[in-house]
Amino acid sequence: MNDIKQFLRSNALRPTKQRIVIAGYLFDGTDKHVTAESLSTELAKRKHIISLATIYNTLHDFYENGLLKKLTLSADRVYFDTNTDDHHHFYSEKEQFLIDINKNIKVNGLPKTPKNKKINKIEVIVHLDK
């Protein structure tokens, strides 16, 4: 628990009770992809009832402090990824899961960028069917 509090403080976040619970789940050493809703469900299974608004706010706070990667897959589907390294994903809308692709991907034929712009990074999301 003290490690989580220190982790939050070292990332400029006040260690509130809710943040401690959420960080304890998210940053347990296993990479995770969560939505606010899936995180709420998982925490409830563990007897931690936290409002959805607080979960949303906390996820966004963690994202803004570089602790999470944010992947917007549609207007109503935003995932947060605990693996902040550059990597790619498989996504199944039907089954609503997002998993890492553990292989380098080569992208050929990139478009010319607009004037005075350069490509910062490329993230590939492979959408799955069935």
Domain boundaries, the chain: 2-128
Whole-model pTM: value is: 0.88
DSSP assignment string, the chain: -HHHHHHHHHTT----HHHHHHHHHHTSSS--EE-HHHHHHHHHHTT----HHHHHHHHHHHHHTTSSEEEEEETTEEEEES--SS-EEEEETTTTEEEEE-S-----SPPPPPTT--------EEEE--
Confidence category of residue 25, pLDDT binned at 50, 70, 90: very high
Any idea which of 34-43, 56-65, 102-111 has the lowest mean pLDDT? 102-111
Pick the CATH number of 2-128 from 3.40.50.1000, 2.30.30.100, 1.10.10.10, 2.60.40.1260: 1.10.10.10
Give the tens place of pLDDT for each residue, 97-107.
899 998 888 88
Confidence category of residue 121, pLDDT binned at 50, 70, 90: confident
